[in-house]
Amino acid sequence: DTGVSQNPRHKITKRGQNVTFRCDPISEHNRLYWYRQTLGQGPEFLTYFQNEAQLEKSRLLSDRFSAERPKGSFSTLEIQRTEQGDSAMYLCASSSSGVETQYFGPGTRLLVL
C-alpha cells in the first residue's frame, strides 16, 4: 500500500499525559500536513511542512502541540499535558510541489479521559 499511513490508529490516554502520533506520507511527496477533526465538523488545519521545514502553523496549534519532520520524510505530532478538549481525530495528508491535491491518511483517533 503506497498511501499515507498513520500510527497508532487509536489512542486512549488520561488527562495530563503526553501522546505522540506518527505519519508516513506517500513516498515521493515533499509536503505534509496535519489537521484535526472533531465530531460533526470538517478537518481544521494545524500545520504544514515542505521537506523538513515547518512553513505554516495555525493558531489552533497551542504551545502544548509540537510537530516535527526531521528528515523530510515521516512526521510526528506530539501533544503535551493532554486535555479532554484534545479528543479528536488527527489527520495527516501529503502532496507534491506543484500539484495541489492532498491525500489523506486514515487518521489517529485520540480520546482523553
Partner 1 sequence: GEDVEQSLFLSVREGDSSVINCTYTDSSSTYLYWYKQEPGAGLQLLTYIFSNMDMKQDQRLTVLLNKKDKHLSLRIADTQTGDSAIYFCAESDTGRRALTFGSGTRLQVQP
CA distance 32 to 94: 4
Binding segment for partner 1 among 18-26, 37-45, 66-74, 75-83 (CB under 8 A)?
37-45
Q: Are strands 75-79 and 108-112 parallel, antiparallel or unpaired?
A: unpaired
CA distance 69 to 92: 12
Q: Which of 20, 29, 45, 96 binds partner 1 (CB under 8 A)?
A: 45
Binding segment for partner 1 among 19-27, 61-69, 76-84, 88-96 (CB under 8 A)?
88-96
CA distance 31 to 42: 21
Q: Is 63 in the site for partner 1 (CB under 8 A)?
A: no
Q: Which of 7, 22, 80, 103 binds partner 1 (CB under 8 A)?
A: 103
